[in-house]
């Protein structure tokens, strides 16, 4: 039997966190290639440290894209995030590009040839999840953790655009612990925010700067007790970003997904074009799970799919309602296969993924966002609700 009363915690990290800087750069490279060729293949990994950026991986795309262009895209990503520190500056960082051609042994499994449809680029398992705890159909702890940092970043960017001083730097983290009663979130028991700041501000000043961004996003009455409101617990956070800690692409997969409230297959998203099922199939599972919950078929929905390298059809589709379902899970597994072609090509075409829409996903979660007019976050659409309701009328 599922527990009804408990505490659950999720964390988020900002766009200026060292790992998120790497995710942003890697996804900017994906966008560069997809803007030139919707069928380009990209697997780009990024490392950052003090005034140094290293990109490595495999690509297949227009030869007109040069290493200088790739380096420029990386530099502009760092500028957009807002790094202009002595130890990490968008103008001064040394950038090294080691991208080479995609392996033919991988390409042959993915390419469609003769009667063979496009295959998965690797074996693996992918999960999607949705619940009715928040308007975004996301678990509440990760939803509010993201929202706190997004509001702080938005204010920082506004001040920067206006040439105004702002107390926060780009690097920050949040962590929200919520109390659940009868399986529903009812309030925060503790909140942690660590943010890079200007040296002239002490811990108490930073605490008061942070406070409105926390209280402003939580529902009324949800603020944690004052002794459980932790801001920069070490007392100082001036050196931040890659100057303070090295970053790597793909190290924040739980931040990117559901904050630990649902399983994750293990594959990272950033730096990968949409032929990689680590990314596209996880998006498809989120899309289906969100529509299932929005259709009222369950309060929680976890979906798993699996693939083999070079094989187009999923090997399995699994649905779990965690005891909250109002329809048969096994029947839904069949219905979902009918509603959406879960081959790599089918997912890409259904969700319109072969577009330069990925740099924006690199921070504040790949899920729980609003669909955008140019196709960004298409996996957040609720356009299957009526069909799902009809299937179980």
Catalytic residues: 17, 19-20, 45, 58, 173, 237, 245-246, 251-252, 272, 276, 278
**Token pair of 71, please?**
């380096």
Do the strands 52-60 and 84-85 form a parallel or antiparallel pair, or are they unpaired? unpaired
For residue 213, the Cα-to-chain-centroid distance in whole angstroms is 21
What b/e sequence results for 8-29 when a residue is b if at least 16 CB atoms lie within 10 Å of its CB, and e otherwise? bbbbbbbbbbbbbbbbbbbbbb
Q: Are 345 and 352 within 8 A, CB to CB?
A: no
Q: Are 367 and 286 within 8 A, CB to CB?
A: yes
45 annotated binding-site participant: yes
- φ, ψ for residue 363 (rounded to 5)? -135, 150
Nearest-Å Rg of the Cα atoms of the chain is 21
Residue the block writes with tokens 């993201």: 146
171 annotated binding-site participant: yes
68 annotated binding-site participant: no
11 annotated binding-site participant: no
19 annotated binding-site participant: yes
252 annotated binding-site participant: yes
173 annotated binding-site participant: yes
306 annotated binding-site participant: no
320 annotated binding-site participant: no
58 annotated binding-site participant: yes
> Percentage helix, strand, coil, to 5, in the chain?
35, 25, 40
Residues whose CB falls within 8 Å of the CB of residue 113, separated by 6 or more in sequence, listed in order: none
392 annotated binding-site participant: no
CA dist 119 and 36 (Å) reads: 23
268 annotated binding-site participant: yes
Residues whose CB falls within 8 Å of the CB of residue 120, separated by 6 or more in sequence, listed in order: 109, 110, 277, 281, 307, 308, 309, 310, 311, 312, 344
**Token pair of 171, please?**
């690097």
4 annotated binding-site participant: no
17 annotated binding-site participant: yes
236 annotated binding-site participant: yes
Q: Which residue ranges are tagged as binding site for L-methionine?
A: 58, 102, 245, 276
Q: Which residue ranges are tagged as binding site for K(+)?
A: 45
Q: Which residue ranges are tagged as binding site?
A: 17, 19, 45, 58, 102, 171-173, 236-237, 245, 251-252, 268, 272, 276
Q: Which residue ranges are tagged as binding site for ATP?
A: 17, 171-173, 236-237, 245, 251-252, 268, 272
Q: Which residue ranges are tagged as binding site for Mg(2+)?
A: 19
């Amino acid at each position: 039997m599922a527990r009804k009363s408990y505490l659950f915690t999720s964390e988020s990290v900002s766009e200026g966190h060292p790992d998120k800087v790497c995710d942003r750069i890697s996804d900017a490279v994906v966008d560069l290639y997809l803007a030139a060729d919707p069928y380009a293949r990209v697997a780009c990994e990024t490392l950052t440290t003090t005034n140094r950026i290293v990109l490595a991986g495999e690509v297949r795309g227009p030869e007109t894209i040069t290493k200088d262009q790739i380096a420029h895209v990386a530099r502009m990503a760092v500028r957009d995030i807002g790094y202009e520190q002595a130890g990490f500056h968008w103008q001064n960082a040394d950038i090294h590009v080691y991208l080479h051609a995609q392996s033919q042994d991988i390409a042959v499994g993915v390419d469609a040839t003769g009667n063979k449809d496009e295959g998965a680029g690797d074996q693996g398992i992918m999960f999607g999840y949705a619940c009715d705890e928040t308007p975004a159909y996301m678990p509440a702890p990760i939803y509010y953790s993201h929202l706190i940092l997004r509001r702080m970043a938005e204010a920082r960017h506004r001040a920067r655009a206006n040439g105004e001083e702002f107390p926060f730097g780009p690097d920050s983290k949040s962590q929200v612990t919520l109390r659940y009663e009868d399986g529903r979130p009812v309030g925060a028991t503790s909140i942690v925010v660590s943010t890079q700041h200007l040296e002239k501000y002490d811990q108490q000043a930073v605490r008061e700067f942070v406070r409105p961004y926390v209280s402003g996003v939580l529902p009324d009455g949800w603020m944690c007790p004052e002794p459980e409101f932790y801001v920069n617990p070490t007392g100082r956070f001036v050196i931040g970003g890659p100057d303070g800690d090295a970053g790597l692409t793909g190290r924040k997969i739980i931040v990117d997904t559901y904050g630990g409230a649902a399983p994750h297959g293990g594959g990272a998203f950033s730096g990968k074009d949409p032929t990689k099922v680590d990314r596209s199939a996880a998006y498809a599972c989120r899309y289906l799970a969100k529509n299932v919950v929005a259709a009222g078929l369950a309060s929680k929905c976890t979906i798993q799919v699996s693939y083999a390298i070079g094989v187009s059809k999923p090997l399995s589709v699994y649905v779990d309602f965690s005891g909250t379902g109002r329809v048969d899970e096994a029947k839904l597994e069949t219905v979902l296969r009918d509603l959406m072609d879960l081959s790599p090509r089918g997912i890409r075409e259904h969700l319109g993924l072969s577009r330069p829409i990925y740099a924006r996903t690199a921070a504040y979660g790949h899920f729980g966002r609003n669909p955008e007019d140019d196709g960004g976050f298409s996996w957040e659409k609720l356009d299957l609700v009526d069909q799902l309701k009809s299937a179980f009328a």
